[in-house]
Amino acid sequence: MRSFNPALSLPALPFLWSGLVSAASGPSSSFNASIPRWEWWPNAGPLDNGDRGQYLNLSSGVDLWYTTMGDECSEHTPVLILHGGTGNSNQMYLQANMLARTRRVILQDTRGEGRSPYQNFTEFHYDDFTRDAIAILDHLQIPRVAVLGWSDGAITGLDLAMNYSSRIERVFAHGANIQANMSIPGHDDPIINSDSGSLDSDFATNGTTYAISRRGLRRRAAEDDADPYTCENLSPTPDKCAAMEQGVINMWNTEPTWGPEAMLKVRCPVWIVDGDHDTSVERNQADAMAAWIPFAGQLLLPHVGHDALMEDPKFFNFAVEYFMDMAFDGVLPYY
């Protein structure tokens, strides 16, 4: 996806809403009425295992940081959690901590990002991220996982489903895109024709979306608040953080380049999920993936943007847990 870094409807069914009220993540952060919620940039937070992890040393010389949480003997399929570009696993702490109460969870910091040092390789590619994930699963002797991916992590999750179908049970893909230039099926939408290709409203537009310029996300925390979960604070190679960010941007400019044929390779249950005010990924990308992946579901989360998992974790976690526990046992015989 193009702009992860801020610097750079569910149906109204009674049983769904009753489940949402008791969702495991607890209440969402207080709504900040001074800005729309989709313009927040919430902070990352600690994992319940104290952020303890270790490194897998690949034969290529690349080192990958990973951690595991939860019950290894759970009857639930383990969940592999994949974070967004230039980020780290702590940005998905609310989902990891929730899921670890009922199942095994595996998180990895993408090569060169977070605690994984940017060394012994130069370019970033989604296919490398995918092979890295398989290497960690092989190392842990985990034959099959469900995937929860955000942004670049969602793209990697789809890459896994396309190329390692026997290892992937299902994919919850939030904030993914399938073309680097977002040109297919086209930038112009007859209804949502903003510069971002998505709902792009705020107080200045009286909550409506017209052709307006994109604005950067704003942090809820004060600018001088210390954030322990930055590249500079986590990385073993903090002097390379700027180079890492540029390398990821270079990848965003050229990858992925998937079309309908690639999406037909996905042979597992998939939910394509996005915030209705995601200005980082155009709405047509989610529509295309939901249309082209066989039997895919599509979920549009209300009043949130690209960072929905932190902007409204209560709703987001409910959707994640609902999907992870959904039975695909003949309802869709295709699987």
Say what percent of the chain tops pLDDT 70.
75
Q: Give the range of the structural domain holding residue 43, as residue numbers without chain letter.
A: 14-325
**Strand, coil or helix: 154:** helix
Residue 146 lies in a domain: yes
> Which tokens in the block code for residue 333?
């015989």
Residue 203 lies in a domain: yes
Residue 262 lies in a domain: yes
Q: Is the pLDDT of residue 7 over 70?
A: no
Please tell me the distance from the alpha carbon of residue 87 to that of residue 212, in angstroms, as a whole number.
28
The number of CA neighbours under 13 Å toward the Cβ of 147 is 38
297-301/270-275 β-pairing: parallel
- Using an 8 Å Cβ cutoff, are 173 and 308 in contact? no
- Using an 8 Å Cβ cutoff, are 212 and 205 in contact? yes
Task: Write the CATH number for 79.
Answer: 3.40.50.1820
Residue 335 lies in a domain: no
Please tell me the distance from the alpha carbon of residue 171 to that of residue 174, in angstroms, as a whole number.
9
Residue 233 lies in a domain: yes
pLDDT for position 201: 61
Please tell me the distance from the alpha carbon of residue 67 to that of residue 52, in angstroms, as a whole number.
7
pLDDT for position 9: 35
Residue 7 lies in a domain: no
Confidence grade of residue 303 (pLDDT, cut at 50, 70, 90): very high
What is the count of structural domains for the chain? 1
> Which tokens in the block code for residue 168?
């992937």
Say what percent of the chain tops pLDDT 90.
65
Residue 5 lies in a domain: no
pLDDT for position 227: 85
Give per-residue pLDDT as tens, 213-225: 334 444 444 444 5
Q: Is the pLDDT of residue 33 over 80?
A: no
Residue 330 lies in a domain: no
The CA distances from residue 334 to 26, 160, 264, 295, in Å, are 36, 19, 12, 8
pLDDT for position 59: 96
pLDDT for position 109: 98
The CA distances from residue 40 to 175, 177, 227, 229, 327, in Å, are 16, 21, 15, 17, 34
Q: What is the mean pLDDT of residues 146-174?
A: 98
Confidence grade of residue 148 (pLDDT, cut at 50, 70, 90): very high
Tell me the residue type at 333. P
Give per-residue pLDDT as tens, 188-209: 454 455 555 566 666 666 555 5
- Using an 8 Å Cβ cutoff, are 125 and 163 in contact? no
Please give the full DSSP string across 185-231, using - where no structure is assigned: S-S--SS--STTSS----GGGTT---S------B-SS-TTS--TTSH
Burial letters for 125-150: b for 16+ Cβ neighbours within 10 Å, e otherwise?
ebebbbbbbebbbeebebeebbbbbb
Give per-residue pLDDT as tens, 45-98: 999 999 999 999 999 999 999 999 999 999 999 999 999 999 999 999 999 999
**Strand, coil or helix: 51:** coil
Cβ neighbors of 200 (< 8 A, separation 6 or more) are 194, 209, 212, 214, 277, 279
Higher local confidence (pLDDT), 156 or 203:
156
**Strand, coil or helix: 185:** coil
In this structure, of 121-130, 146-155, 196-205, the range with the lowest mean pLDDT score is 196-205
Q: CB atoms < 10 A from the CB of 225, how many?
A: 9
Q: Is the pLDDT of residue 127 over 90?
A: yes
Alpha carbon 302 to chain centroid, angstroms: 17
pLDDT for position 181: 73
Higher local confidence (pLDDT), 281 or 47:
47
Q: What is the mean pLDDT of residues 307-320?
A: 96
